[in-house]
């Protein structure tokens, strides 16, 4: 089980709680456990998204990937690259980043539509996202082998 604390990411494993700080003390949000249970993806508010081993070691920065979600294979992380002016969303696209952090793919590219908060199906190669006006979008994907 994952959660956040005042300084890091809380893990609860077999009834024992542990706090990890992969990028040092900070404000962590959106922690997600990989499908194999060996890695996490999360966002540190000042330093952006990262992928790390479950013990917090070997953290790799993956840039601006807010609300990150693992694909069902664990090979990619899907998230949003969103921008705002402090009051309104000014832009947002759905992005995919390889689990090793070496590849980044723009899944949407639209100036007038702001796709946000992707959710990845655990059963199918499907991503669902919403737009600022409430429209629901369904994307299908195929992972390269």
Position 2 pLDDT exceeds 90:
no
Question: What's the mean pLDDT when you consider all of the chain?
Answer: 93
The pLDDT assigned to 5 comes to: 73
Q: Is the pLDDT of residue 124 over 70?
A: yes
pLDDT at 40: 97
Its pTM stands at: 0.91
Question: What pLDDT is stored for residue 114 in this prediction?
Answer: 96
Alpha-carbon span 50 to 122, nearest angstrom? 21
Residue 145 pLDDT level (bands cut at 50, 70, 90): low
Average pLDDT over residues 95-114: 95
pLDDT value at position 1? 59
């Amino acid at each position: 089980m994952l959660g956040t604390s005042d300084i890091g990411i809380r893990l609860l494993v077999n009834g024992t709680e542990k706090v990890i700080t992969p990028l040092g003390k900070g404000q962590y949000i959106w922690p997600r456990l990989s499908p194999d249970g060996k890695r996490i993806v999360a966002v540190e508010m000042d330093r952006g998204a990262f992928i790390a081993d479950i013990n917090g070691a070997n953290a790799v920065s993956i840039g601006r990937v807010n609300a990150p979600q693992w694909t069902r294979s664990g090979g990619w992380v899907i998230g949003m690259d969103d921008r705002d002016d402090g009051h309104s969303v000014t832009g947002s696209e759905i992005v995919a980043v390889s689990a090793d952090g070496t590849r980044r793919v723009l899944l949407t590219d639209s100036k007038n539509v702001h796709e946000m908060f992707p959710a990845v199906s655990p059963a199918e190669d499907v991503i669902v996202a919403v737009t600022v006006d409430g429209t629901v979008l369904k994307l299908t994907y195929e992972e390269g082998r």
